[in-house]
A and B are shown apart, each in its own frame.
Chain A
Amino acid sequence: MRRETILNFSLLGLLFLFPLWAWVADEPFLITLATRAVIFAIAGVGLNLALGFGGLVSFGHALFFGLGGYAMGILAHHAQTYVPMFTWPFVIEGTTSMPIIWLTAIAVSALVALGVGALSLRTSGVYFIMITLAFAQMFYYFAISWSAYGGEDGLSIYVRNEFPGLNTMDPIQFYAICYVILLVMLFFVFRLSRSSFGLMLGAARQNEDRVQALGQVPYRMYLTAFVISGAITGLAGALFADLNRFVSPVMFDWHTSGEIMIFVILGGVGRVLGPVAGAALFILLEHSLGGVSDYWHIYLGAILLGVVLFARGGLFGLIAGREVAHD
């Protein structure tokens, strides 16, 4: 078995066994920590699709993370206050059903990704980085000034939303939901990376002229990848807001974009499970360094700097070696 495959299964196994152990040992805090890691991993899996497979350096994925969060916050807020969202032209009520919230988060994120992507992808390189950043900031400031949904203070919901047959307030059950979603997303991205679309998207990343000479339009490949990528990160945002039972403009903040990027980079760009390793490592660092010093971001910065300067390829690069071209 290839080392990358071994690493993949160890990671997933660890994320299965660790919360189970925490549950048996009655350590709900550790389960919550693992839940954060899994949700961050989903957000990273979304970004990795654009960044790793499509080569699109989006510095604005907080936009989708925040949209997912607000999709949850707004729907649940209306459901819990019994005020419909719209009464005209037809009545739309809020909801506390997780599956409906997820679908809404995915749909809204995908739609916004379509608009933002269509515009941003007219540019490339450093322009693209700055424009995606700017669009995310635009939503950040909008959320701050939108007082109907809490403005700067954000929105709290009283209880976690509902999933048929489960008690979502129980940490281990909520963890199970997130873990299964992560597995589904990983499977989807794994298949996508090997599909016709994935093959051609990777070719566009490497050489746009080649793709055009084959009769394909790189812009459409990128836009499609960007939309799917945004939708996955949006779903993660909805889960994250549900975990905290709180959503605020911070989810749109550019530090959030930077952190999602860090998950991808720490793990290894373009590896299907890279973001999982990266998010787990991030949470581990946050937890262990956060205990050492209040200023743990200094150490995080130093580690990130070290990875970028000396260990490109991240954790997967260190352990599994250079990526082998698969056939």
Chain B
Amino acid sequence: MTDPVLEVRGVSKSFGALIASNDINLDLYPGEIHALIGPNGAGKSTLIKQISGGLRPDSGRVHFAGRDVTDLSTAARARLGMGRTFQISSLAMDYTVLQNAVLGALGHRGDVFRFFRPAMTDPELLDRARDSLETVGLEEFHAVRTSELSHGQRRQLEVAVALTLSPKVFLMDEPMAGLGGEGSHRLMGFLDGLRSQAPILLVEHDMDAVFALADRISVLVYGEIIATGTVGEIRENPEVRSAYLGEEDA
């Protein structure tokens, strides 16, 4: 079996008396979609932040691409190949769609400290940006100001920007939140193909999407992972059913 690209080992984090992450172990292997589910307030966002670098765990380590990244900043982890999409769209709202995508291409190339050559006429950046816009189906909106996009289109743009980075893993925080039925269906089809490019750690509320897409699922409840397994295993797990899925069905 190949080594995992991303490994979370014994990560714990508490805020005062609240234990947001309790000895969490999680890994992500090449080619898979690993879904992280759990009720609201289970600590999913806190965990994602510790993986991506926004929060430092109290204890435990995060390994990524063969090295310990626990002490690295968000930016440094992004440079190593963590591509992240945010739960709340995090884009440059005054820029056009194309400008946002070019930003991603620029981040990928890394030579940001150039002060004289116009970025928006650089063919290399434009090609990469247009490619990813095309992949998510936003190419016709390239000249639209991002603040004027619909909610669903912003989610698509988030993914497009992550694509321009050609990351080694995708961390996706509720990419389908707020998308209509058709929108999530399209995105699902897209994510399905994306896993061959890079594995995805997917935080998602939409259970149908999770069960349709995920290779493995981890269930987070009150800061603890109570189960990890295939879709079938998780469906059948009595603990998960009582802690989580039971509530969903009711």
- A residues contacting B by CB (< 8 A) are 191-192, 194-200, 202-203, 206-207, 209-217, 221, 224, 325-327
Contacts and interface: CB of A to CB of B under 8 A. Distances in A.
B90 A213 contact: yes
B165 A215 contact: yes
B94 A202 contact: yes
A327 B78 contact: no
Q: Which 6 A-B pairs have the closest CB atoms?
A: A214-B107, A215-B78, A215-B79, A212-B74, A206-B92, A203-B92
5 contacts: A192-B116, A196-B122, A214-B161, A215-B75, A216-B107
Nearest to B162: A213
Contacts of A206: 92-95
Given A195-B116, A195-B118, A214 B98 contact: no
A325 B114 contact: no
Interface in B77-114: 78-79, 83-84, 86, 90-96, 98-99, 102-104, 106-108, 110-114
Contacts of A197: 112-115
Nearest to A214: B107
A327 B110 contact: no
Nearest to B95: A325
Interface of B: 52-53, 73-76, 78-79, 83-84, 86, 90-96, 98-99, 102-104, 106-108, 110-120, 122, 142-143, 145, 161-162, 165
Contact of A213 (B74, B114, B145): B74
Given A191-B115, A200-B107, A213-B86, 16 more contacts: A191-B118, A192-B116, A194-B120, A197-B112, A206-B93, A207-B91, A209-B86, A210-B90, A210-B91, A212-B74, A214-B107, A214-B108, A215-B79, A215-B165, A327-B98, A327-B143
B120 to A, nearest CB: 6
Contacts of A191: 115-116, 118
Given A210-B90, A213-B78, A199 B107 contact: no
B91 A195 contact: no
A195 B73 CA distance: 25
A216 B90 contact: no
